[in-house]
Amino acid sequence: MIRSTLFFAIFFVGVFVVDQMIKNIFLEGFRWGSDYFSLILTYNKGVAFSMFSFLDGYLKYLQMALIFGIIVYLLLYKDIFKEYCIPAGIILGAACSNIYDRFIHEGVVDYFYWHYGFEFAIFNFADVMIDLGVVVVLWISFRKKRATLSQ
């Protein structure tokens, strides 16, 4: 359990710190653009694609409650925590970084804007890490399922 907690903490802190460092570059005024994508500071008051932005300041508390629920679940089911400690650290580190933005900047700091061929949502490193964490969860689950089926 100590090893799992250590891995969780390393990934949680690592993702949180890297995300905040990148966001700080944009908060200090960095901008860049090309024909394909732009790196430009925006504040997202909602979640993906600005959904739930009507919740305004309440959204951060709802997200905190969800994270608290996930943490309680992982504490109650230590076997699941042990197996998924790395993706849990990645996802929760990224989620907490975005929630931190909501408290400090009143919106999530986003900066990567894809606009070649179609306009895509503006996102940040934490968003990518949440997606990566979900992919790792799925990979572990499928690998586990395949091992069970082959027995």
Query: In percent, how much of the chain has pLDDT > 70?
Result: 98
Any domain includes 40:
no
Residue 60 lies inside a defined structural domain of this protein: yes
Residue where the block lists tokens 């070649």? 116
What's the token pair of residue 14?
A: 């690592």
Whether residue 95 is contained in a domain is answered as yes
pLDDT at 57: 79
If 0-12 CB within 10 Å is exposed, 13-18 middle and 19+ buried, where does residue 21 land? Answer: exposed
Active site residues: 110, 127
pLDDT attached to residue 54: 73
Q: Indicate whether 151 pLDDT > 80.
A: no
pLDDT at residue 52, rounded to an integer:
74
Give DSSP secondary structure letters for 114-140: E-SSS---EE-HHHHHHHHHHHHHHHH
Give per-residue pLDDT as tens, 16-50.
Answer: 999 999 999 999 999 999 999 999 999 998 777 66
| Number of domains the chain is built from | 1
Residue 73 has pLDDT above 70, yes or no: yes
Residue 117 within any structural domain of the chain: no
Q: Is 80 part of a structural domain of the chain?
A: yes
Within-domain flag for 130: yes
Quote the percentage of the chain above a pLDDT of 90.
Answer: 76
Q: Is residue 46 part of a domain?
A: no
Q: What is the pTM assigned to this prediction?
A: 0.91
Domain of residue 144, residue span: 2-28+52-107+125-149
